[in-house]
A = this chain, B = another copy of it.
Amino acid sequence: MMFKRITIIGLGLIGGSLGLAIKKQRLAQEVIGVSRRRSTVVRALSRGVADRVTLDAAKAVQGADLVILCAPVLKIIDIARDISGSLEEGAIVTDAGSTKKEIVKHIESILPDKVHFVGSHPLAGSEKSGVIYSDGNLFDNSYCLVTRSSWTEKSALEKVKKFWRRIGMKVEVMSPDKHDMIISKLSHLPHASSAALSNACSKAELRFAAGGFKDATRISSSSPELWKDIFLTNRKNIIRGISELEKELSKIKSALKKNSGKELMKLLEKAKTVRDSI
């Protein structure tokens, strides 16, 4: 097997689904799950996402050769601090956080030299949260972005890449900076616009909400706690993204003000081309 013991800290949708995928692919002799909440521990055991589940993160990482941090972004950094003294020599630590620059910078300075950190961002998930929605196929055929910094150890990087591939993902390696820039456009900006769209509607109007509105606002139903951290750790890119979005909105507004079908057609056709190219 690839690993002796994998410890997953944080048992939400991602942590739980990872546990199921690891067991399905037989990537570890033992999977340990860690949650801060007793109720989650009970649910995680009943969903079978780990062989053992505990509330004690520091204890759970002892003897682990792979530790995966699956908490909200800012919590990931706190957890790294809590477990740093308990990690085995040679252990690999990775994460599933949606921003990478802040996480990589802090965790590389927190963890001892004998431990290897490699940042990861599996591009999978849904607007649902909680271990009860765990799905061992959640990651299939999606991309996992893995980061390489000047501190990244080569063999650890290779092992983490192999791990995500065995989980079923397509792996791409890039710098934390590049990751945060790309993902701000593809994930954080859509989230901001989805939230703004929801907030621009009054409840009275929502009665007739149909497919278009539901699709466009679906992600604003995600966990505010999770997303607050993502937003705070990728502020500059998201601010820049919102400005670009505002520029595009004002092009549409200007075409409407001029009553120009030709300009509208150009903007809508461009959008369709972009969207259809995915």
Contact = CB atoms under 8 A, between A and B. Distances in A.
A239 B256 contact: yes
Interface string A245-278: 1111111110111010100110111111011111
Interface residues of A, number: 87
A209 B256 contact: no
Contact of A261 (B220, B232, B245, B259): B232
A161 to B, nearest CB: 16
B205 A271 contact: no
Given A199-B274, A228-B268, A210 B124 contact: yes
Given A210-B124, A241-B200, A268-B227, A221 B253 contact: no
Contacts of A256: 231-232, 235, 238-239, 242
A216 interface: yes
A156 interface: no
A28 interface: no
The CB with the most chain B CB atoms within 10 A, among A183, A193, A203, is that of A193
A221 B276 CA distance: 6
A38 to B, nearest CB: 25
Interface stretch (A75-83, A88-96, A105-113, A184-192): A184-192
A182 B202 CA distance: 10
Contacts of A241: 200
Contacts of A231: 252, 255-256, 264, 268
Nearest to A188: B212
Interface in A154-190: 172, 182-183, 185-187, 189-190
B239 A200 contact: no
A213 B214 CA distance: 14
Interface of A: 123-126, 142-143, 145, 172, 182-183, 185-187, 189-201, 203, 205-225, 227-229, 231-232, 235, 238-239, 241-253, 255-257, 259, 261, 264-265, 267-272, 274-278
